[in-house]
Amino acid sequence: MLHNDQLSQWDRENFFHPSTHLAQHARGETATRIIRTASGCHIEDREGNKLLDAFAGLYCVNVGYGRQEIAEAIADQARELAYYHAYVGHGTEASVTLSKMILDRAPDHMSKVYFGLGGSDANETNVKLIWYYNNILGRPEKKKIISRWRGYHGSGLVTGSLTGLELFHKKFDLPLAQVIHTDAPYYFRRTDAAQSEDQFVAQCVASLEELIAREGADTIAAFIGEPVLGTGGIVPPPAGYWDAIQAVLRKHDILLVADEVVTGFGRLGTMFGSTHYGMTPDIITIAKGLTSAYAPLSGSIVSDKIWKVLEQGTDENGPIGHGWTYSAHPIGAAAGVANLKLLDDLNLISNAGSVGAYLNQTMQEALGDHPHVGEIRGEGMLCAVEFVKDRDSRTFFDANDKIGPQIAAALLAQGVIGRAMPQGDILGFAPPFCLTKAEADEVVAKTVTAVNTVFQG
Ligand code: PLP
């Protein structure tokens, strides 16, 4: 719905929106949607339209909207102490408690958590720590970072480079030279239709080995990957992928960063994607699910192996030259403590696993045989429907047809939010963990209607 009232006008005149077609928005060709309130899995806009948010904001409001426990914790913290910094050993009860809660939940070999504000800055921190690590170890040439095409790691300078999506590079002079990309583990989009999943994994491994051989292992510091590709298409890895990739990394002394901004704290029905897939990362990136987005907070969890070298570095060079004013912000930390407690108290991770499996299964039953559905895939509370022009030949639609965005719009018109993923005709779902089976049924039924509306006109 387009508006020409005061708020819409201020919006168009003053607000530089992220990830938006700026010119169309400024000209008033796209909607200004102003969200007023939210509860559970539903958001409500200023017209009073209630929408079932089956993407949990940007897959971040994991515990659902309107949780008073977190709001109260934030308010209490703001009244008691809205801010103090975390430099030179300072902290708050909330930030110290949250560190312990995170390490209690993280894989055993992890040692400490550095706090940032969002996923992008956490991954910027990770790259700096990795460069520092190799400098302290006397390996100044070992600096390049390998990322995957279709990976999403943020939109800063290094992190926008790590992100393997063209839109994030084009006209921004990215990727930076220190970042190199390897194949996405996207079996459905394999070029050789006859290839088995095992053969496809072997090909991903071979192409990683080739890249390492071409660049020289002594120039490569780390490999970063999301346990399940997120923004690149919601693609769980083929069986055996992480084992095979980790064997290569170990052979060449290349660190592994697990970017768990989406998967951390329960989205796969387990606490961390790393443990879900048997990954042993050197660093884990966390953000979204840490506070369920009630306040901005992210983290870099570093392993014992990394921590020891960082300690050595500060013994040799003095305090670590890295920090943000808002690192470990007390309000974010208070939100994090309340959020992790709520996940436990309401058994929400287990619900994410069981209702997520139900959502995937019912979506499969409803649309699995549709002639324009190529694949339905997911893990935990993540689900994606990928559309194709022709199923048998796996022919994709022209991007200009905007099939994915059309289906997302037809879904929205019925009051359900799914996300047209940015590369390919892929409709993504990542609902809050409190989704009920009845709400999952509604998402599926309305997706079927949306699909039929777009394909049958
Ligand atoms: N890493 C992953 C896996 C993400 O999905 C995202 C955001 O969607 C980021 C990093 C960047 O996080 P932020 O947008 O908070 O900077």
Three-class SS string for 142-168?
CCEEEEECCCCCCCCHHHHHHCCCHHH
Sheet holding 179-182, edge to edge: 110-116, 298-303, 283-286, 255-259, 220-225, 144-148, 179-182
Residue 96 has pLDDT above 80, yes or no: yes
The predicted pLDDT at position 2 comes to 53
> How far, in Å, from the CA of 58 to the mean position of ligand 1?
9
Q: What is the pLDDT of residues 22-52, one digit of tens each?
A: 999 999 998 888 999 999 999 999 989 999 9
Q: What is the pLDDT of residues 46-72, one digit of tens each?
A: 989 999 999 999 999 999 999 999 999
Nearest ligand 1 atom to alpha carbon 288? 15
> How far, in Å, from the CA of 159 to the mean position of ligand 1?
9
Q: What is the pLDDT of residues 251-295, one digit of tens each?
A: 999 999 999 999 999 999 999 999 999 999 999 999 999 999 999
HSE value, Cβ hemisphere, 13 Å, CA-based, for 254: 29
Q: Ligand 1 site: residues with CB under 6 angstroms?
A: 58, 118-120, 123, 152-154, 226, 230-231, 259, 261-262, 287
Nearest in space to 408 (alpha carbons), one of 389, 390, 387: 387
Q: What is the mean pLDDT of the chain?
A: 97
Mean pLDDT of 80-106: 98
Q: Which residues contact 204 (CB under 8 A, 6 or more apart)?
A: 182, 183, 185, 241, 244, 245
Mean pLDDT of 144-167: 98
3: confidence class by pLDDT, cuts 50, 70, 90: low
Nearest in space to 56 (alpha carbons), one of 429, 444, 326, 456: 429
> How far, in Å, from the CA of 156 to the mean position of ligand 1?
10
Using CB atoms within 10 A of its CB, is residue 436 exposed (0-12), middle (13-18) or buried (19+)?
middle
The domain segmentation of the chain, as residue ranges, is: 33-63+348-456, 69-345
Largest CA distance in the chain: 68
Domain 69-345 class?
Answer: alpha beta
Per the CB < 8 A criterion, the answer to whether 403 and 390 are in contact is no
Residue 379 has pLDDT above 90, yes or no: yes
Residue 1 has pLDDT above 70, yes or no: no
> How far, in Å, from the CA of 435 to the mean position of ligand 1?
22
Q: What is the ipTM of this complex?
A: 0.99
Mean pLDDT of 71-75: 98
Q: What is the pLDDT of residues 201-231, one digit of tens each?
A: 999 999 999 999 999 999 999 999 999 999 9
Tokens of 411: 């879904």
The predicted pLDDT at position 4 comes to 59
Residue 17: alpha-carbon gap to chain centroid: 20
Residue 354 has pLDDT above 60, yes or no: yes
The CATH architecture that domain 33-63+348-456 belongs to is: Alpha-Beta Complex (3.90)
